[in-house]
Structure formats: structure tokens, C-alpha cells
Amino acid sequence: MLDQNVTQELAREAAGLLSIADVSDVRSLHRLTALAARQVPACSGATAALWRDGEPVEMAATHPDLAELFELSWQGRSGPWTQALATSEAVYCPDSLAEDRWPEYASAALCRGVRCSVTLIHPLGPITVTLSLFGARPRSLDPERIALAELLIAFGGATMGNASIYGDSQRTALQLREAAESRTVVDQAKGILMHALGCSAQDAFDRMRETSQTRHVKVTEVARTIIKAHRSVSGPRPAGQAIAGDRRSTDRS
């Protein structure tokens, strides 16, 4: 059963983790660790990490010692995080003093006053969230007390998933906008070359591409240079004249 600390305040704070409007991954992880350390009985501190392709992307900890423990464990590829990622299951360490699966982790944990720990994992598509809880007394983080932490990591996983989807959407929109702007610039430069050289659209583009390869710059930059040079020579024309000229060109075609 969940602990009685699952109150309206906890529900409000956990729901707040789902906001993606102005909350970064790091900030969400920090809020998750703080909430776990405050609400889970016997939890003296916590770490939360966001993983992509088996590598940590972001990490938050309630204490610098726990951040060091995470780094040492991951650098040595030994410890509860490695096992949790390999099995996608929660990993318990009831007593660091009696732990023989990861001697280096156990030694580092004891040096930092950690006698027990549990690492929860929440896979969510391309990303994974882990939440590790640490206790100062052996066997103080028993399964009954972990139910609340599992609820928290579910909220945290949803937060990271939403943030990832939101970020991917933003990046896709930006890429599409940049592509559209580049296409407009290139088309404008092609029109200038076609008029000046009396060549086809493909010939104009081939000339720009050849220049980009020779000068090791993007075709878009070549196009901007052509447009800038054209404007410096021709200068702006009155709007009515431009329209009339365009109309005559259209009539001739």
C-alpha cells in the first residue's frame, strides 16, 4: 500500500512535474529527486537520471556525494544503475556492508554514509528514467516504502517523455522553417542568374553548387551573396515600376 504521505500536496507537486511549457529535463529531474527525498520514508537522498541509448544524458542529485557515487559507479560500469539498465527491473541493495555484487560501488557508498539503496527504472520509448533512493540505515528502504517512489518515477517518466516529444516537435518545426527559408533564398538567386546569364534554372543551380563546393560554403550562403551583390548594383526600384516590369515580363512569356 501507498504511504499516507500521498496527500493532496503530493498530488499537486507530482502533477506539476508533467508541465512541459517551461521546465527543462534537468529541472524536472531535480524536482523528482527533491520530491522523492522528502516524501519517501527513510530516504536520505536521491538521484535521477535521463538515459538515451544506454548513456546518461542528464543527472540530478540531492547531495554532491550522491552525484559522485553515480559518476564513480557509471565510469566503472558497475553498480545498481548498470544492472537496472540491463534488466529493466528495480535493483535493491539492502546493506552496502554486505553487498558483494559490486565491491567498488559498495565501498564508495559506505564512504558516503549510504547503507542501502534502491534503483527504479522507467523505460519510455527512446528514453529511460532512473530514480535511485538512498538510506542511512541498512534495510530501511523496504518494498512497502518503495510503492510511493514507483508512483513518483511514473510521473517523472511521463514528464521526460512529454518533454522529449515537445523538444522533438520544436526541433522539427525549426528545421522545416529553416528549409523553407533556404529554398526561398536559393530560388531568388536562381532567378537573378537566369536573368543575367540567360540560362535555365538547372544551369543556375549547378553554377551555385559548383561555387559552394569550390569555396567550401553552403549553397544557401552562395545564394545570399548573389542576392546581396544584385541589390548593391541594381538598387531598390519603386514598387509600381517593379510590378509593371514584372507584368511586361509575364506578358512577353
Q: What is the pLDDT of residues 82-128, one digit of tens each?
A: 999 999 888 999 999 999 999 999 999 999 999 999 898 877 767 78
* CATH architecture type of domain 173-235: Orthogonal Bundle (1.10)
Place of cell 530516504: 43
Q: Is the pLDDT of residue 8 over 50?
A: no
Q: How far is the C-alpha of 209 from the C-alpha of 218, rounded, in Å? A: 8
**b (16+ CB within 10 A) / e for 201-225:** eeebbebbeebbeeeeeebbebbbe
At 11, which helix (H) or strand (E)? helix 8-16
Residue 18 pLDDT grade (very low, low, confident, very high; cuts 50, 70, 90): very low
CB count within 10 Å of CB 57 equals 14
Q: Is the pLDDT of residue 1 over 60?
A: no
Percent of the chain with pLDDT over 70: 66
At 227, list the grid cell. 542576392
pLDDT for the residue numbered 108: 95
CATH number of 8-169: 3.30.450.80
So where are the chain's domains? 8-169, 173-235
In the chain, the amino acid numbered 132 is S
At 248, list the grid cell. 511586361
Residue 195 to residues 225, 235, 239, 251, Cα–Cα distance (Å): 16, 16, 19, 16
| 103-111 helix and 64-75 helix, angle to the nearest 10 degrees | 170
Q: Is the pLDDT of residue 154 over 80?
A: no
Q: How far is the C-alpha of 38 from the C-alpha of 64, rounded, in Å? A: 17
Which residues does 170 contact at the CB level (< 8 Å), separation at least 6?
none
CB count within 10 Å of CB 182 equals 16
Averaging pLDDT over each range in 142-146, 206-210, 234-238, which range is the top one? 206-210
At 196, which helix (H) or strand (E)? helix 143-197
Q: Is the pLDDT of residue 228 over 50?
A: yes
- pTM tops 0.85: no
User: Rg for the chain (alpha carbons), in Å?
Assistant: 29
pLDDT for the residue numbered 81: 95
Q: Is the pLDDT of residue 63 over 90?
A: yes
Averaging pLDDT over each range in 142-151, 154-163, 208-217, which range is the top one? 208-217
What would the mean pLDDT of 24-42 be, rounded to a whole number? Answer: 79
pLDDT for the residue numbered 153: 58
